[in-house]
Structure formats: C-alpha cells, structure tokens
C-alpha cells in the first residue's frame, strides 16, 4: 500500500498538479485547450476504439483457447501453454516489429497470397488499423488466456455430469453451467486487456497508419519533443478520468461477475 502510494499515486498527483501550475498559474487552462481540441478527440477515439476491439477479440479467442487447453490431454495442454508463454517472454518491441515484417508488402502474408494466385499485387496490410488490431490482440492474448484457464481449472466437472444427467444437451451444459462458472476469469482478462490497450504506444506506431494513432502518441510528442509537460499532463489526466468514469459506470457489471460467485 505504501509502495502504491509512493511509487504511483504521488507521481501521478504531481503530473496532474503540474497541469494546473505549468507553464503559468492559470488553473485549468490546459484542460480546456485539450477538451476543446478536435484533434485530441480523434486521437482519444482511436484509443478507445482500439481498446474495445482488442479486448473483445482477445476475450473471445482467449476463452476458446483456454477451453481447448482445458479439454485436451496433458501433452497438448503443455504444448498450448508453451505457445502462450514463449512469445510472452519476448519484448513488446520485438513482437511489434515482427508483425511489421510479416505484414509488409514484401512480407510472408502477401508472398503466400501472391503465390497462391489469390491476389495480383500486394495488398496493403501494414499501416492499417487491421494491422494494429492483429498485433495488439496477439500480444495481449495471454492476459485473457491465463486468467480464463485458471478459472476453468477450478471448475468442478461433476457439475457438467449433473447437468447432462438432468437432460441438458452438451451445448446447453456449456452455456448454462460451464460458461457462467468460468466467466470470472474471462472478465478479469477482458479488464486487463482493456486497461493495457489504453496505454499502447509502440505497436500502433509501428503497425498503424497516420490516421489510426492513439492518444499516447500525442502525449509522447508533447513530453519528448515539445517539453510541454503541462499539456501532456492534462491529456493524461483526462484519459485517466475517462477510464475511471468508464469503470465506475461498469462497476455493477464488474461486481456481479467478479464477486457474485464468491
């Protein structure tokens, strides 16, 4: 708790107070500038859109991947687990760069499609929002797979037999018994991926086009190139406030799925 206070809350408070005191003492000037800036709104919309999209896709894929791990035998389970953890141990930058090599015009995807005769000339995959979505989903997938799988291992399989013996079909047993019991892990994963996506910088920069860039790019430019930390702080504070509001609005949902089963 003390560590959280000292290492996170205090610096965060300093950044936010800096927005009011810098460059002059005119309070809230930067906030109004940022809030009334249509450019900021577009960057922020990109961030939100990406975070929602990536969490939904990573959540869906992650859930079924974890389900496959749960359902298959030991050997396969270990193999699938290694497939999750191995890329997880390489750096974010390397994985983002690897995707840019795979997706570029001369990359393997275009090469295969060209040689199969499906396309006549390379399709532009790199520097699109599709590329960012693919890259970020792959990078963040372990964050949905691991908590989901963990909640599945705690599931009591006898419940399924009981459901089946009461006349439920396999599909019904899955959706009415298995899924509700394991969605806690899925929700935890979704939340993690959503929050992590909001701060993504490198992956969108390397894989996205100019119109797809998230708000982190705008903040970075103010911090590094402009040394305008007041404005950068306002932008960050607005993003944090928006996330807190979103979480507060969704709290009932979070509460229900996280805490109801306890």
Partner 1 sequence: MRNPSPTNALATMAALLTWGIGPAISAEPQTLVWVDGGGSYHTAVQNRYLTPWQTSSGDQIVPVAGTDNAKLRAMVEAKRVDWDVYNGDNTWGTERDSKWLVPLDYTVIPRDEILPGFVSKYRIANMIYSVLLSYNTDKIKGTPTGWADFFDLAKFPGKRAVMDYSAGGIFEIALLADGVAPDHLYPLDIDRAIRKLNTIKSSLIFWESGAQSEDLVGSGEVSMAMTYNTRAYDAKNRLKKPVNYVFGGQILSAGYLTVPLGSRHVAEAMKLIAYVVSKDVNGKLSAALPVAPANKYSTHDLTMSAELPTSHLSEPHAVFDDQWIAENSNVEESRYQAWKIALP
Please give the Cα distance from 262 to 257 (Å, whole number). Answer: 10
How far apart are CB 63 and partner 1 at their closest, in Å?
33
How far apart are CB 86 and partner 1 at their closest, in Å?
21
- In three-state secondary structure terms, 257 is helix
Decide: 59 and 190 in contact? Cβ < 8 Å: yes
How far apart are CB 210 and partner 1 at their closest, in Å?
4
Decide: 34 and 219 in contact? Cβ < 8 Å: no
DSSP letters along 4-27, please?
A: HIIIIIHHHHHHHHHHHHSSSS-T
- Biggest alpha carbon–alpha carbon distance for the chain: 72
How far apart are CB 22 and partner 1 at their closest, in Å?
11
CA-to-CA dists, residue 173 to 16, 142, 154, 225, angstroms: 50, 26, 17, 57
Quick one: 82 or 101, whose CB is closer to partner 1? 101
Please give the Cα distance from 120 to 136 (Å, whole number). Answer: 28
Quick one: 23 or 180, whose CB is closer to partner 1? 23
Quick one: 130 or 247, whose CB is closer to partner 1? 130
Quick one: 180 or 211, whose CB is closer to partner 1? 211
Q: Token digits for 73?
A: 């035998």
Please give the Cα distance from 17 to 216 (Å, whole number). Answer: 20
Name the CA radius of gyration of the chain, rounded.
22
Quick one: 83 or 109, whose CB is closer to partner 1? 109
How far apart are CB 248 and partner 1 at their closest, in Å?
29
Torsion of CA 123, 124, 126, 129, to 10 degrees: -110
**Residues in the site for partner 1, rule: CB under 8 A?**
37-39, 42-43, 46, 93, 104-106, 127, 201-202, 205, 209-211, 213, 218, 220-229
Quick one: 120 or 158, whose CB is closer to partner 1? 120
Quick one: 182 or 203, whose CB is closer to partner 1? 203
How far apart are CB 39 and partner 1 at their closest, in Å?
4
How far apart are CB 229 and partner 1 at their closest, in Å?
8
């Amino acid at each position: 708790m003390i560590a959280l206070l000292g290492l996170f809350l205090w610096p965060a408070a300093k950044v936010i107070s800096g927005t009011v005191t810098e460059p002059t003492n005119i309070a809230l000037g930067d906030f109004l500038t940022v809030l009334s800036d249509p450019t900021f709104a577009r960057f922020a919309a990109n961030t939100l859109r990406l975070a929602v999209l990536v969490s939904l896709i990573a959540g869906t894929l992650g859930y079924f991947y974890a389900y496959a791990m749960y359902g298959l035998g030991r050997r396969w389970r270990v193999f699938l687990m290694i497939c999750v953890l191995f890329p997880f141990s390489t750096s974010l930058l390397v994985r983002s760069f690897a995707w840019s090599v795979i997706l570029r015009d001369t990359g393997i995807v275009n090469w295969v499609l060209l040689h199969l005769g499906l396309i006549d000339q390379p399709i532009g995959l790199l520097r699109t929002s599709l590329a960012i979505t693919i890259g970020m989903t792959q990078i963040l997938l372990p964050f949905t797979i691991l908590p989901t799988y963990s909640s599945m291992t705690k599931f009591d399989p006898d419940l399924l037999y009981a459901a089946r013996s009461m006349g439920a079909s396999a599909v019904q047993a899955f959706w009415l018994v298995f899924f509700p019991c394991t969605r806690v892990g899925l929700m935890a994963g979704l939340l993690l991926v959503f929050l992590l996506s909001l701060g993504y910088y490198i992956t969108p920069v390397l894989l996205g086009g100019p119109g797809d860039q998230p708000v982190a790019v705008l903040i970075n430019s103010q911090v590094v190139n402009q040394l305008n930390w007041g404005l950068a702080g306002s932008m960050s504070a607005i993003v944090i406030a928006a996330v807190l509001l979103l979480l507060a609005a969704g709290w009932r949902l979070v509460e229900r799925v996280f805490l109801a089963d306890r």
